Structures are given as C-alpha cells and as structure tokens.
Structure 1
Amino acid sequence: MKRSTASKLVAGLAATMAVTSACASDRGPDSSFGGLAPVAAAEAAAAPSEVKFGTLESPCGAGDAVGATDQGVTDTEIRIGFGDDSGYVKSPGLNKEMGDAVAAMIDWCNEQGGINGRQITGTYYDGAMTQANAVMQNACGSEFMMVGHGFAMDQTSEQTRVACNLAAVPAFTVSPDAANGPMTYQGVPFPVDYANGSQWFQIAEMYPDLLNDFDVIDSTMPTIITSTNKIRSIATAAGFNLKNCGVTLNYEGESSYVPFAEKFKECGVKGLWTSRSPVPAEFNLVKAFDQVGIDPIFMGEATWYGDAAREWNGANGGLLDNLNAGMTFQMIENADTVPAVKDYVDVVSEQGGKTALLGMQATSSFLLWATAARECGSDLTRQCMIDELSEIHEWDGGGLHAVTDPGANMPAKCGLVTTLEGTEFSQAFPTEAGTFKCDDSYLIATDASTWGTDLGPDRIATKYLNPNIIRPAAS
C-alpha cells in the first residue's frame, strides 16, 4: 500500500491522504504533486546558509549535483520511502505523525532547492501493522533509501530490506534484528546491547519508596517480550527489585482485564511499566485497576506522551493521572523556548499534519539523512551514505532531543520524565522545563540474554547478513 508525496502538497492534504491511502492499492508516484518550479527553487536557495532548523544549519539547498548514481537517484531527483502504521484497523491513525512529519520536511527541503539541487520525491508506505514486509518488497524496487519510517512489525520486513541492500534511517526500530541491523542509522538509536535507562533512574529519584513495589507487564508479542526482558535488566541496574507477579497479557486483547488487575493487587504492586503503546487494550487495563481499587504509578515508553493518552484521560476522569513517560526529546509544550521544537511544529502544522513525539523522531532522522546526503554531493550512492552516516557521532536534531551517537548506534545519556494530569502533560523531572538530566550511569550495557539476536564484533545483527551488504568503507 503506498502513495507518492512529492515536493509541494496543498496545506492539509498530506494528513487526509495519510488516512485514505490505507485502503489504496499499490501505485506509482502521482505526477499531480510535482516539484517546485525551478525559479522558485532558485529564489529559495539564494542564501541557504541562513536557513536553520533549530540550531542546525539546513542541509538543504540548491546545487549542481548531477548523475544517475544509484537506484532512485537522477540528475534532478532523489526518491525515498517513508511511512507508518496508520492503516492498522484496531488503532486507526497509528503513528500517523511520522508520515506527516516526513512529508512536510520533504517540502521544507525542496523549497530550499532540495539536496544539492536534486528535488526529493517521497513515497509514503502504510505498514498497517501486518504489511511491513509487503511495504519493503515494494520499496526495494524503487527507492534510494527508507527515511524517517517506523513499522511495529519490522521483524517481518528486515530480511527483505537487508537482502536488497535498502539502506535506512528509520524514526524507530522495534525488533532486535532491525535495531542493530546492517545499513541502518537512527537519529535516536535504540540498540539491543546498550540502553538509555534514564527514566528508571529518574523514577527512582521521584519515588524512592517504591523501589521494591514495581513490576513489568508482560505480553505475548515477541518484540515486546524482548523489550520487557531488556527493561527488567535496566530496572535492576537503576536499583529496582521487581516483584515479578507473573502477569502476561495477550497482545490482541483480553475479554476482561479485571482478573489481571486483581493479580497485581494481590501481588502488592504500586508501580507498573508497560512496553506497549497507548492503545485500547492498555486503557482497558487502566480501567480494571480502578475497578479493583488500585492506582499504581503507571510508567511507559515515550509513545505515551501524546494525544491518545491525553484525550482518554480527559474522558475518563483522570484515571491516568499517575502516568509517567520517560523521554530523550523535548516536550512539544516547550515550543516557545526551544527553537527546534517550534520549527517542527510550524513546518508540520503548515501542512495540516499531526504533531506528536514520534513526528519529532521522524524529523530528526530525516535531518540526519539529509545532512549525510548533502555531504555526498554528486556522488550520492548508498555506499557514500553509509560512509557519511557512520561518521556522525554527535546529533541532537537541531535541539529536538538529547545528544546521541548515530554513527556508533549508541543512545543518549540524558533524559526527562513527563507526567499527565487531566489533559495536560508537564515536565516532572528535572523540574526546569526544557532541560535534561544527564549521567554516564544512565547508559546501560544490557545482558546478552536479553538481546533477542546475535551480534557480530561490529555490534551488527548477524541473522540476515550476506556478502553483499554495504559496510562503511573505513571498516
């Protein structure tokens, strides 16, 4: 399932098409969304050095790059794929903010002249949760790279991606083989062998009396099993003695969550971690807590910071007022004080798109990709991109998030915690809005038993390796 978005969309159309395309059949680029007229590109690129995204000098602008140097690259065009799971029938619009962000950033870049003068043509792919491999099969035949995407079931598509040497700069990865996959670089890395445990250390400072009263909610989904195993090791490193109540929830949902809530109550839990996103099944569990008379501190991934939790909490009497979400990103509420956040909100809002945390994550990865592509000049090949990306070791997306090391696939050593009250999120730790707390102890080397895959000496997953994969020339 795909649709093509090129350089100039009518405001608001990107958001509409992101939803309606979920049911569309495969089709090629829509020529009705053509590039900007050359005169407009030339005017926009008159002073490219003056354009910034937050603190980052824009990687976009006019130039004289030429050559059909690789699949999806011509004298005038660079084709990239992007996407999300917005067509998932059980959670319509899932992670739609990622597709909206990349579509808007493509336009932002093309208005400045593209990358060294080549216009970017983006093809949107809807993974719809179960179609990730079909997406990758389609992308393999036409795209230069995948950029700013994220598919919850990426374990089904990783073998296909690696086999066709489709280099990627995703917004996020889920499965172990994708997280440490070859030819993959992320603005905010999430490798299996190292983790940013800041949220656990910070929650420990916020609730020191609960170190012996927390537990992790287990799931039947393989990728979540891997994630929660890693989370347990991080929690231990942060000083938690988890209760291990033995509660496992079916990823597809339960007929009633009350028995599971009762089990947590009997176990004496006062705090819980979930590796799932804010979807109806998780909300039903929170309702069940209320039904059995407990109100645990609820702690989750950064995906809980967003409209889904905000709107549900407002409609359900504040049952999620105990929600805490750890992040390495700035809050959108800080747009007035953090230039990069304001730039993100402005760029996406001008297109009528949805703004949310994962949209910022997709934006960071797009900017990372564009920064490397600019350095390649006319020699825009996947090999050059791998070489350039592998050399970027300090990255914050212009100020969107804490500093990471994409080139070495290493996460940040900083974080903050947000909390929800009613329909409003606020920064709970550290207390000064717009700041992170950083500490070397936050970077945790996880136990190999939690990785869910085997890594080579270069920390790349070995499962789908073949002799033809692209490695950095210096390696």
Structure 2
Amino acid sequence: MKVTKFGRLAAGALALAMVTTSCASERSGDDGVSAGGGQSSGGGRYFGTLPSPCGPGDAKGATDQGVTDTTITIGFGDDRGFASAPGLSKEMGDAVKAMIDWCNEQGGINGRKIKGNQYDAAYTNSVKVIQQSCKQDFMLVGQGFAMDEAAEQHRVACKLPTVAGFTVGPNATMGPMKYEAVPYPVDLMNVGGLRIAEKLFPEAKEKADILLSTSPAVTMGTNKVSAAMKKLGYKQLNCGVRLNDAGESSYMPHAEKIKKCGAELLWSSDSPDPGQFSLLESIERVGAKPKYLFEATWYSSLVAQWNKAGTGDNIHIAMIFQPLENADKVPAVKQYMDLVNAQKGKVALLGMQATSSFLLWAQAAKNCGSNLTRQCVINELSKVHEWTGGGLHAPTDPGANKPSSCALMVKLTGTKYEQVYPKTIGEYECSDDIVLETDPKTWGTKLNEDRVATTFLTDDVIKPQS
C-alpha cells in the first residue's frame, strides 16, 4: 500500500506521482493546479489547491430553467427542521450558503450571480421539497436529505439533475442525472478502516465482531461490512449483540455478552446517540477493553463532548476527509472553516462534503460558458475522474460514481481527535485493494450496464454526451 499526500502542492505539479509501498508523494489532483493553496496566487483566486471556478464574465442567455443573462438559480438544503433532531445536517445548508456568497463576491460564474433556494426537508418532507425544486431550479447542489429515496421518482420524472452533498437511498445513490463529490455507490465499498486496522492492531483481527441493530438501514450497512470482513480474513465471533434502535432499558447484559465473547475489535455502523454511549459506558464498567472501529458519523463534537471521562478513548474512525484538526496544515479545510464561521454557521464533516459538491458543480458550470444547460453540465461532470475539492478529501471519481481508494484513521482521546494513521498530517493510505465489490443482494436496487438504478429510469433522462 502507499501513502499519498494532498495537503500541499508542488509548484507546477499537474501529474500524479505514483509511488511504492509506504512512500509519500505530492499530488495535486485533477481539480488543482500549481498554486500554493492559499486564497490567491499569481493574481487568481483559489479554494485550497483548486483554481476558483467563480469570477466575472460575459455569459448571456436564458439557456435553461433557472438560468438568465444575470443569474443561475440552484436549490440546496438539509433536514434542519426535523423535530426529533433539530438542526439535522444544518452544516450542509450553511456550507452551500457560504459558498454561494464566496462565489458571488468574485462575480458569480462567468458573470452570472448565483441565486440559492434553500430547502428544509425536515426529514419527512423530501417529496414536497423536490417538487418545489422541479419547478424553479436549474439544478440541486450540495444538498443532503435523509429521505431522498422517497423523492427520487419525482426528481427523475422532472429531469432535475443534482450534484448532491450526500445520498442515502439506493435508487438515489445510483440514480440518473446524479453526481457527488464523494460517491458511496451501492456496488463498491471503501474498506480503508478495516485495512488500516490490520496494521494498527493485527491481533484484534482474530477476535472481531459487529454490533448489530434492529434498524433496517443500519442492518444494510452491517451486512456489507460483515461480507467485507470475511473477504479480508477477519474472524467474526458472532457475539450476537443486537441493539434495539429505540433504546434499551439496560445495556449491561449486552456489555457482559461482549466481555464473555472476548471481542477485541468491535465495528458499528450505527450513529452516536445516548443509547450507543450507554453501551460503551456499560462495556467499560464490566471491565472489557475492545478497540472500537466506527463509522465517520462518530467524528463529531457531540461524541467529543460526551467523552470527557475517556470512556471512548478506544474509538477509531476511518475517513477520506481531512480532519478539522488538520486545518493549520491543509489550506482547503481552513478556508472552509473560515467561510462558514464568518457567517456563524455550523462547521462539521458534512459541511465539507457539501462544499466539495458545490465546487464540483461550479467548475462544470464554468466550463459551459454562455451555453449553460443541464446537458452541458452533465457532460462536464461525467469527465471528472479525480476530485479532491481543493484538498478537502482524498481523490474520488465523481464522473464514474466510484469511491475513493484512500483513507486515514483518527482516534478520540478525551475531547480531541487526532490523526493516527498515516502519522504524517495531510497523508492518506491509498491502495486499489481498499475498494471491494459488494454482493448484489445488498444493493437494494437493480443496476443497468451503466451502473444506473433502473427503478425510476425513463428513456428521456439527461445522459452524458461525448
């Protein structure tokens, strides 16, 4: 495996330097050119290593829905109004709003200012939101709606393209006219966390297990992880700990079962909540000390504040994003934080994800010039096969809807996260064997030869043209 560095750019570097085991390389990514990574260099603006797609120009024409001589109207948003979890994914809308202002301050895209329609799907209203967007927006950009699956048939029917911040449902994830800066397709899986765990604590590979759940969504995730563990030679103990998604009256019986089973490495695809915290506290009380390998949702201020007593000091999290803690070494992360903080918005991992998707869309829109149509933007997006959001994350392949083949690991100690692998800040572990094919039984949808979900597919969707 190799380590690849993205925190800095070598002057003039446009090509990827391929290296052998455990060597560091300088890489710009196709979305960056030689610049130094600051706000400006050589008279031009940058986002991290990415030359700004925004600026003045003389683009003209009402070329498509939401486009005029002077404006481009896009939709964006999150689920912040969900009563059961107020502020859900608020960081995504905050990020896109900040990026619209950043872009417009430079002159918009080719001189057209961006107008943003901000939506709150509030978890249960995704269909209504998509129906509104269908009537007025050029495209959806950087949004994240937890119940996107329910609205997908409406998005496809009205031929509304999207460069999503994230997608959840299998048909939304693999849908037509959909691109993401950070794809998580149903048929391919980044197993960087498991690969890095093999190096950090190889002995635990012989005594690993997965925390199960009554949640169908979590179960879908754990089924994929279980299959990946088998492929990688992890020995699962099958301790049988299945947590009620609605909570348990006591987590001590589960903790005792984990201790008796002898699990030394525990994976969870669940998100942090009071029940999960109670389980970890119970495991500590019974005297068990497994290593925890958790999803990126555990990289949050909520978890950090809960861990003041150190109960979660064994939590390890694999990510493809640069941690916020690396901002002083990674210009794009600092720039994201500065822009959102200036508007008193919420800074969090999903905000960086939305930011990267906005930049991906903006670059494609810029390349279309005056001929700003949905068809042209989709054509441009389909050509992008290496993308880092200016250094926010490891390279992905948005054009082919393929995940990154890189990862890094952070560890929680007290209330602070720290990158523990690779040791050097700004580096990732990268290898082709970090991406595995998944079992079609776990996809949740049928794909055609182009790896597009067929459930809502029609003959007249907008397809990339060469």
TM-score band (shorter)?
Answer: 0.7 to 0.9
Can you list the C-alpha shifts for 1:350-403, whole angstroms capped at 9, x where unaligned?
Answer: 111121111111111110010001011122121111111001111111111111
Q: 1:265 to 1:174 in 2, by over 3 A?
A: farther
Q: Which amino acid aligns with 1:321?
A: D
What is the CA distance between 1:336 and its match in structure 2? 1.1
Give yes or no for contact 2:193–2:293 (8 Å, CA) kept in 1: no
Query: Following TM superposition, where does structure 1 have runs of at least 4 consecutive aligned residues deviating by more than 4 angstroms?
Result: 46-49
Please say if 1:331 is aligned against 2:294: no
Check if 1:345 corresponds to 2:337.
yes
The answer to whether the 8 Å contact 2:171/2:455 transfers is yes
Give the deviation of 1:263 after TM superposition: 3.3
- State the match for 1:285 in structure 2: 279
Q: Percent of pairs identical after alignment?
A: 54
**Aligned-residue offset at 1:438:** 0.8
> Is it true that 1:266 corresponds to 2:265 in the alignment?
no
Q: Which residue of 2 aligns with 1:107?
A: 101
Letter in 1 for 2:446: D
Aligned counterpart, 1:80: 74
Asked if 2 retains the 8 angstrom alpha-carbon contact of 1:191 and 1:411, the reply is yes
Which of 122, 129, 134 lines up with 2:116 in the alignment?
122
Letter matched to residue 150 of structure 1: G
Following the alignment from structure 1 to structure 2, what is the Cα–Cα distance between the partners of residues 50 and 237? 48
Task: Indicate the SS of the match to 2:356.
Answer: helix
**Contact 1:56 / 1:397 at 8 angstroms: preserved in 2?**
yes
Secondary structure of 1:141's partner?
Answer: helix
- Number of the residue aligned with 1:202: 196
Q: Decide whether aligned partners of structure 1 residues 267 and 137 sit closer, same or farther in structure 2, where only a CA change above 3 A counts.
A: farther
Structure 2 contact 329–425 (Cα < 8 Å) conserved: no
Distance 2:41 2:294 in 1: 43
| Structure 1 position 187 matched with structure 2 position 181 | yes
Q: Counterpart of 1:13?
A: none
TM-score scaled by length of structure 2:
0.87
Seen in structure 2, the aligned counterparts of structure 1 residues 71 and 251 have a Cα distance that, compared at 3 Å, is farther
CA positional deviation for 1:75: 1.5
The CA distance in 1 between the partners of 2:42 and 2:62, in whole Å, is 24
Count of paired positions: 427
Residues 1:252 and 2:246 are matched in the alignment:
yes
Name the counterpart of 1:239: 233
Aligned to 1:63: 57
Kept in 2, the 8 Å contact 1:376–1:385? The answer is yes
Shift of 1:49: 6.0
Please say if residues 102 and 362 of structure 1, whose CA atoms lie closer than 8 Å, have aligned partners that are also in contact. Answer: yes
Aligned residue in 1 for 2:214: 220
Opposite residue 264 of structure 2, the aligned amino acid is K
- Report the CA distance shift for 1:339/1:68 in structure 2 as closer, same or farther (over 3 A): same
1:321 CA drift (Å): 0.9
Q: Please point out which of 361, 365, 368 is paired with 2:353.
A: 361
- Give the alignment partner of residue 89 of structure 2, picking from 87, 95, 109: 95
Deviation sequence 1:204-239 (CA, Å, 0-9, x none): 211111113222223333332222222222222333
* Distance (Å, rounded) in 1 between the aligned partners of 2:179 and 2:76: 14
Question: Mean Cα displacement is larger for which, 111-120 or 242-251?
Answer: 242-251
Say which is worse superposed, 231-240 or 433-442, in terms of deviation. 231-240
Superposition CA RMSD, Å: 1.9
1:420 is aligned to: 412
- 3-state secondary structure, aligned to 1:243: coil
2:388 matched to which residue of 1? 396
SS at match of 1:157: helix
2:269 match? 275
What SS is found at the alignment partner of 1:71?
Answer: coil
User: For residues 251 and 67 of structure 1, what CA distance do their matches in structure 2 show?
Assistant: 52
Asked if 1:458 corresponds to 2:453, the answer is no
Distance in 1 (alpha carbons) for counterparts of 2:287 and 2:120: 40
2:217 partner letter: T
1:301 to 295, 300, 303: 295
Unaligned 5+ segments in structure 2 are 1-39
Of stretches 150-159 and 166-175 in structure 1, the one that deviates more from structure 2 is: 150-159
The CA deviation at 1:48 is 10
Q: TM-score, normalization: structure 1? A: 0.86
Residue 341 of structure 1, CA deviation: 1.1
- Asked if structure 2 preserves the Cα contact closer than 8 Å seen for 1:183 and 1:469, the reply is yes
Residues 1:160 and 2:154 aligned together = yes
1:321 and 1:97 map into 2 onto residues whose CA distance is 26
Distance change >3 Å, CA 423–CA 386, structure 1 → 2: same
